[in-house]
C-alpha cells in the first residue's frame, strides 16, 4: 500500500496535513483519549473549559503547569521531522495542528496553523491581552492582567470557545483547495477541526489517514494506514524517493 500512496502523492500539488495528539505520542506527550489518554486520569470537562477555570483556576493551572513542564522536556519524533521534510514535494504544504506543544515548529515545519493555541503563551481571561510567555505560573498565586486585573490563563482554546477566525478560515480555504489531505494521529471527534478533512474530500482531495485506530472519518479515507505515524511517515519519504529514482 505504501507504494500506492507514494504514487498518489507524486501527482499532487497542494497538501494539507491535520495532526492531533497521536503525532506527539511517540515523543512521550500523552494523548487526550484512549487507554493511555490524559483524560483517563483527569476529566476534560473539569479542566479544559472556562467554567472550570472560573470555579477552580488553581486546579486548571496545576494541570497546565504539569503539561508545560512535560512538553518543555520532550523532543520531536521521526513523524514530526518527516512531515517537515514532506513539504518539499508540494507547491503548497500547510500543516494544521490541534496540538499546543509546538513540536512541529521545533522539527522545522514552516507553514503551521495552530488551531487550539500554544501552551507556552499566556493571556488575560477577561480582556484577552497577551501576557509574556514562558513565565512559570504559580497555581496558588496566579498573576493579574496589568490592563484590567483579570486572571492570567494559558492561550489555548477550551471547549465552547471560538477558534481564532483568521487561523480557522485559512485552514478551511486551504483544505478546500487541497488535492491531498493527510489526517495524522487524531481521533477526529473535536470540531471544527474534524470538518477540515470532510471539506477537502468533498472538494475532491485524496484523503490518507495515519492512525493505529479507526476514527469516525476512516470510512471516507482513500487510504487508512494502521501504524504509528513516527514509523510510517519516514518510510513514506523513502517510498517517494524510490518512486522517482
Ligand atoms: C496515534 C498514535 C501514534 C495514538 N501515531 N496516531 C456539545 C457541547 C459543547 C460543545 C460541543 C458539543 N458538540 C460539539 C461541540 C463543539 C466542540 C466539540 O467538538 N466537542 C466534541 C467533543 C463533540 N468544539 C468546541 O467547543 C470548539 N469550539 C467551537 O466549536 O466553537 C464554536 C462554539 C462556541 C460556543 C459553543 C459551542 C460551539 C473548541 C474545541 C477546543 C478543543 N480544545 C482541546 C484542548 C486544547 C488545549 C489543551 O491542549 O489543553 O483540544 S480538547 C482536546 O481535543 C485538544 C485536542 O486538540 C483535541 C483533539 O484531540 P486529538 O488531538 O484528536 O487527541 P485524541 O487523544 O482524541 O486522539 C489521539 C489519536 O491519536 C487517537 O485516535 C489515537 O489512536 C491516535 N494515536 N498514538 C498515530 N503513535
Ligand atoms: Zn486583562
Residues 78, 75, 49, 184: what is their CA dihedral angle, to the nearest 10 degrees? 0
Tens of pLDDT along 102-143? 999 999 999 999 999 999 999 999 999 999 988 889 999 999
The rounded percent of the chain whose pLDDT value lies above 70 is 95
Cβ 113 vs Cβ 167: under 8 Å: yes
Closest protein CA for atom 32 of ligand 1:
162
- Residue 186: its pLDDT value, please? 98
Strands of the sheet with 92-97, listed across from one edge: 112-114, 92-97, 14-19, 180-184, 206-210, 223-225
pLDDT at residue 44 greater than cutoff 80: no
Ligand 2 centroid–CA 154 distance in Å is: 13
- Residue 57: its pLDDT value, please? 95
Closest protein CA for atom 38 of ligand 1:
160
State which of 121, 159, 234 you would mutate to test the pocket of ligand 1, scoring each by most atoms of that ligand within 8 A of its C-beta.
159
Ligand 1 contact, 66 CB (< 6 A)? no
Ligand 1 contact, 206 CB (< 6 A)? no
Tens of pLDDT along 147-203? 999 999 999 999 999 999 999 999 999 999 999 999 999 999 999 999 999 999 999
Ligand 1 centroid–CA 33 distance in Å is: 9
Ligand nearest to the CA of 145: 2
Choosing from 104, 116, 202, 224, which is the catalytic residue? 116
Tens of pLDDT along 14-33? 999 999 999 999 999 999 88
Tens of pLDDT along 69-109? 999 999 999 999 999 999 999 999 999 999 999 999 999 99
Q: Cα 36 from chain centroid?
A: 18
Q: Output the pTM of the full model.
A: 0.97
- Residue 41: its pLDDT value, please? 64
Terminal-residue alpha carbon distance, the chain: 19
Mean pLDDT of 1-22: 97
**Catalytic: 116?**
yes
Ligand nearest to the CA of 125: 2
Q: Distance between CA 197 and CA 221 in Å, rounded?
A: 9
Ligand 2 centroid–CA 105 distance in Å is: 28
pLDDT at residue 42 greater than cutoff 80: no
Q: Distance between CA 239 and CA 139 in Å, rounded?
A: 48
Amino acid at each position: 500500500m505504501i507504494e500506492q500512496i507514494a504514487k498518489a502523492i507524486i501527482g499532487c500539488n497542494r497538501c494539507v496535513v491535520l495532526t492531533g495528539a497521536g503525532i506527539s505520542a511517540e515523543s512521550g506527550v500523552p494523548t487526550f483519549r484512549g487507554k493511555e489518554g490524559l483524560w483517563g486520569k483527569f476529566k476534560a470537562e473539569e479542566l479544559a473549559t472556562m467554567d472550570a477555570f472560573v470555579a477552580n483556576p488553581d486546579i486548571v493551572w496545576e494541570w497546565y503547569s504539569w503539561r508545560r513542564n512535560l512538553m518543555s522536556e520532550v523532543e520531536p519524533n521521526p513523524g514530526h521531522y518527516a512531515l517537515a521534510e514532506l513539504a518539499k514535494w508540494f507547491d503548497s504544504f500547510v500543516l494544521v495542528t490541534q496540538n499546543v506543544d509546538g513540536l512541529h515548529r521545533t522539527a522545522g515545519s514552516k507553514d503551521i496553523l495552530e488551531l487550539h493555541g500554544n501552551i507556552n503563551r499566556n493571556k488575560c481571561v477577561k480582556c484577552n491581552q497577551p501576557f509574556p510567555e514562558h513565565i512559570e505560573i504559580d497555581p496558588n498565586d496566579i498573576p493579574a492582567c496589568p490592563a484590567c486585573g483579570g486572571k492570567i490563563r494559558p492561550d489555548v482554546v477550551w471547549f465552547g470557545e471560538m477558534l481564532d477566525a483568521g487561523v480557522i478560515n485559512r485552514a478551511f480555504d486551504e483544505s478546500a483547495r487541497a488535492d491531498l489531505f493527510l489526517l495524522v494521529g487524531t481521533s477526529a471527534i473535536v470540531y471544527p477541526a474534524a470538518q477540515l478533512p470532510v471539506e477537502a474530500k468533498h472538494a475532491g482531495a485524496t484523503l490518507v489517514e495515519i492512525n493505529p485506530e479507526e476514527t469516525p472519518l476512516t470510512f471516507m479515507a482513500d487510504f487508512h494506514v494502521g501504524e504509528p505515524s513516527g514509523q510510517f511517515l519516514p518510510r513514506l519519504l523513502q517510498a517517494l524517493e524510490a518512486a522517482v529514482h
